[in-house]
Amino acid sequence: MSTIVLILGLHKDISNAYKNGIEKAFPEFQVTLLDSVKKVDPFLADMEVLITHGPYLEDRADHVLTNAKKLKWIQGIGTGVDNFADRATLHPSVSVTNIHGVHGAPMSEALFGAMLTFSRQIKRSISNQQEHKWENWPSRLISGKTIGIFGLGSISKTIAPRCKAFDMKVIGVSSSVREMDGFDKIHHKDELINVVHEFDYFLILTPYSKYTHHIINAKIFSKMRPTSYLINHARGGVVDEDALIQALQNKAIAGAALDVFSKEPLGSDHPFWDMDNVFITCHQSATHDGTVNTNLPIIIKNLNQFKSGNYKDMLNLVKLGINHENS
Check 214, 264, 270, 288 and give the catalytic one. 264
Dist. CA 268–CA 258, nearest whole Å: 15
Q: Which residues are 148's β-sheet partners?
A: 171, 202
Check 53, 187, 233, 235 and give the catalytic one. 235
Cβ atoms within 10 Å of 188's Cβ, excluding its own: 12
User: Annotated catalytic, 283?
Assistant: yes
User: Annotated catalytic, 264?
Assistant: yes
Cα dihedral 77, 83, 86, 92 sign = negative
Cα dihedral 271, 263, 78, 217 sign = positive
Q: Which of 229, 213, 214, 232 is nearest to 285 (CA)?
A: 232
How far CA 16 is from CA of 21, 113, 122, 270, in Å, comes to 8, 27, 33, 30
CB 240 within 8 A of CB 217: yes
User: Annotated catalytic, 188?
Assistant: no
Dist. CA 211–CA 197, nearest whole Å: 23
Chain length of the chain: 327
21-52 core/surface letters (b: 16 or more CB in 10 A; e: else) = bbeeebeebebbbbeebeebeebbebbbbbbb
Strands 3-7 and 49-52: parallel
Check 283, 288, 324, 325 and give the catalytic one. 283
Dist. CA 264–CA 257, nearest whole Å: 16
Q: Which of 94, 114, 153 is nearest to 320 (CA)?
A: 94
Residues catalogued as catalytic:
235, 264, 283
